[in-house]
Amino acid sequence: METAARIELMSWLVGEGLTGLPENDLIRGFCERCRAGGIDVSRGLVFIDTLHPIFEGRGFRWNDTASNESDVFEYGSTEIGEAAANWRRSVFFHMLEEGHDELRLDLHAPGIADRFSMVGSLQEGGHRHGAVFLHKFGEAGSMGQMDCLYSYWATRHEDGFDERQMSALRELVPMLGLAIKSGAQMEIARTLGRVYLGRDAAEQVLRGKIARGVTERINAVLWFSDLRNSTGISEAIGPDEIIPFLNDYAEASIAAIHDVGGDVLKLIGDGILAMFTGDDMVKAKRNALRAEHQFRKNIAKLNAKRLAANRPVTTAYVGLHEGEVFYGNIGSDERLDFTVVGPSVNEVSRIASMCSSVDRPLLTSSAFQAGLDAAGRKYLVSTGRYALRGIGRAQDLYTLDPEIDSDEVVRGGYERYLAR
């Protein structure tokens, strides 16, 4: 590749990296420009570890012929099982163990397919030689396991990459790596935001709403749930069982809330604070009821699974309320929380705490019930009038008509209502 073509490709990588071109488009553009400049690349693969609660990292690949492979893939832990065995047979693991940053491979050398796990598929694809690179990050440039960029580049040429092509790859791959690392760091920021702040709160923060005291007044449908007898169960089981117990039931509720567009704002021990918003508050209330209904289904499946494994089970109380809240940054300059505050938040938690007193799994406020459409209100019945602790006025609290559980016709009508 001539100097002018290298500079042009470097400029393209810098520009597209700054604009945030997706990583799969970066590697495709890189390979196509390499080929146009005289580097006979037939396949490229780049992957990088990340910070994610499920995946260990993400990878991106390009091939010079059409294939059924996705150009983006995610991989789980390489510490256990078959993934660990495959990783230990990879050329990348070998290079880390031997301290190599670069390696050239004759993909048809005797025994090489038995030595390195990826070679067989490259041989089948008609690739002849490969160049493999490790680009390690410094301590200040690492984030958790994201401490290295791994890549290989294959060619169909009988003699492999010549010295001029290798020289060009040595210069260009780090530039590609820097652009991909930038994209990976943005994805980490989004992931951590969604996981620890909630989906909408993360978007608000990443759009720049991070100043202390910057809040907005909104109307929201609020959800507060907690587990029945979680303290007693936690005292009765082993310490190593407590976190899996809480995780199982948290997953049951969070999945139900997210499936209908709700936002989980805070996990408080075994309690969950969430909200449902939108221009149509009747729809937001129906979504909250849909989430509660799905939550019960999730719990039923979870309890069947846990009982089969001889593990303790429980259920949950849910309180629903509609009210005005302040939504935004609350705290100090050094520690902020992006959440909701206001009397309505206290009220929904008090409503949820009343569930055990009236022996109902769901209670809603008068404001929630009154704001439903007529079709929804007929499924809620009053449990009586109550003065909630710390709340200045007494109000009727509502629950689902018990016939929903006992009458198949009523239950079917309720489910059709939720599906609207």
Residue 114 contacts residue 128 (beta carbons within 8 Å) = no
In sequence order, what are the residues at sequence separation of 6 or more whose Cβ sits closer than 8 angstroms to the Cβ of residue 275? 220, 221, 222, 223, 262, 263, 265, 325, 340
- pLDDT over threshold 90, residue 8: yes
Over the stretch 255-286, which tens digit does the pLDDT of each residue have?
A: 999 999 999 999 998 999 999 999 999 999 99
Write the pLDDT tens digit of every residue in 24-45: 999 999 999 999 999 999 999 9
Query: In the structure encoding, which two tokens stand for residue 215, read together?
Result: 């809040």
pLDDT band at 334 (very low <50, low <70, confident <90, very high): confident
Burial class (CB in 10 A: 0-12, 13-18, 19+), 309: exposed
Q: Is the pLDDT of residue 293 over 90?
A: yes
What's the pLDDT at 263?
95
pLDDT score of 297: 95
Residue in this structure with the two tokens 């495959």, named with its chain if needed: 86
Most confident by average pLDDT, 191-200, 323-332, 357-366: 357-366
Q: DSSP letters of 381-413? A: EEEEEEE-TT-SSEEEEEEE-THHHH-HHHHHH
Position 378 scores a pLDDT of: 94
> pLDDT tens, 201-217?
888 888 877 777 778 89
**The pLDDT value given to residue 54:** 85
> In the structure encoding, which two tokens stand for residue 341, read together?
């505050």
Kindly tell me if the per-residue pLDDT of 188 is higher than 80. yes
